[in-house]
């Protein structure tokens, strides 16, 4: 009878196996969640690029119904993807979700406040830009138009960038090192995705939003926090590090070089 009972070593080994399986299940969705954030940001960028020079429709509408749907849908998709990523990272670190880690911890406050500020900034930018597009030509160069442009470019982009920065820092602090290691083609894919998303977004907010110094400072802080957690040789093996750090570093260097070469505030092409 005693021979049929597992020894302490066998019980311990079984517990370790179950713990490893649970950890794999917890960390497996991290790379997939990062991938969906990447896809949502790319979709938003492509839409903005394609519709940037679209003509103002006739009548009282500043945007076509098609544009309005995507102006609302794509930011909502990005916010959902970032929220899903934050929840997955929280679960990976703690093994389960709990109320404190999701809504009450300092990192949770940083993430939710950043997400709210970013969405408010995008709303201000979109509303002011739509109003400016619908403004008659006779008013487009007056004092009222200048105030609308200030809300559009300065306030809207500043709040959007600050919220994006806070949410990014929270994600790095919560999740960098929590996912499974990347290797081979995954590292290349995440690195290219980082350049196309974080690299482009930071350069665009710095140049088009007129926040060149703030964008460079944010890039330095993000890269410093990332490298504080993981050494440079390990950053691109981590899903969060590979997604955020290469593009942010490239964006910061691009802004510095662009500013030095141009000799002042560069303008978006």
Distance CA 232, CA 222 (A): 13
Q: How far apart are CA 18 and CA 245, in angstroms?
A: 33
Please report how many Cα atoms fall inside a 13 Å half-sphere around the Cα of residue 109, on the Cβ side: 4
Domains of the chain, residue spans: 31-50+61-262
pTM score, two decimals?
A: 0.82
CA 12, CA 54: separation in Å to the nearest integer? 65
- Contact call for residues 227 and 233 (beta carbons, < 8 A): no
Distance CA 58, CA 71 (A): 19
| pLDDT tens over the chain, length 269 residues | 444 444 544 444 444 444 444 444 444 578 888 889 999 999 988 888 777 666 666 666 667 777 777 888 889 999 999 999 998 888 876 666 677 778 888 889 999 999 999 999 998 888 888 887 777 665 667 777 778 888 888 888 999 999 999 999 999 998 887 777 787 888 889 999 999 999 999 999 988 888 888 999 999 999 999 999 888 888 888 889 899 999 999 999 999 988 877 766 667 66
Confidence (pLDDT) at 72:
84
Residues 114 and 166 sit within 8 Å (Cβ to Cβ): yes
Give residue 26's pLDDT.
Answer: 45
3-state SS class at 5: coil
Cα gap 127→173, rounded to integer Å = 33
Backbone angles phi, psi at 267, to 5 degrees: -115, 145
Amino acid 226: pLDDT: 92
Nearest residue to 162 (alpha-carbon basis) of 208, 217, 86, 108: 217
Compute the distance between CA of residue 260 and CA of residue 258 in angstroms, rounded to an integer: 6
């Amino acid at each position: 009878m005693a021979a049929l009972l597992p020894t302490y070593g066998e019980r311990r080994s079984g517990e370790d196996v179950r713990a490893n399986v649970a950890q794999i299940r917890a960390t497996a969705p991290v790379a997939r969640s990062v991938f969906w954030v990447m896809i949502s940001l790319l979709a938003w960028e492509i839409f903005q690029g394609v519709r940037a020079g679209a003509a103002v429709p006739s009548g009282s509408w500043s945007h076509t119904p098609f544009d309005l749907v995507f102006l609302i849908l794509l930011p909502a998709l990005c916010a959902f993807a970032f929220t899903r990523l934050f929840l997955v990272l929280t679960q990976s670190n703690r093994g389960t979700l709990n109320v404190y880690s999701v809504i009450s911890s300092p990192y949770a406050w940083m993430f939710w406040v950043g997400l709210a500020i970013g969405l408010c900034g995008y709303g201000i930018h979109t509303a002011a830009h739509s109003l400016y597009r619908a403004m008659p030509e006779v008013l487009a160069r007056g004092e009222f138009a200048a105030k609308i442009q200030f809300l559009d470019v300065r306030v809207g982009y500043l709040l959007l960038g600050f919220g994006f920065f806070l949410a990014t820092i929270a994600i790095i602090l919560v999740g960098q090192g929590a996912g499974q290691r990347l290797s081979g083609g995954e590292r290349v894919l995440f690195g290219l995705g980082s350049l196309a998303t974080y690299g482009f977004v930071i350069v665009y907010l710095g140049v088009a939003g007129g926040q060149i110094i703030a964008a460079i400072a944010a890039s330095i802080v993000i890269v410093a926090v990332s490298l504080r957690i993981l050494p440079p040789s390990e950053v691109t093996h981590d899903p969060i590090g590979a997604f955020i750090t290469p593009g942010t570093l490239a964006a910061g260097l691009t802004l510095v070089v662009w500013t030095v070469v141009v000799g002042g505030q560069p303008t978006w092409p």
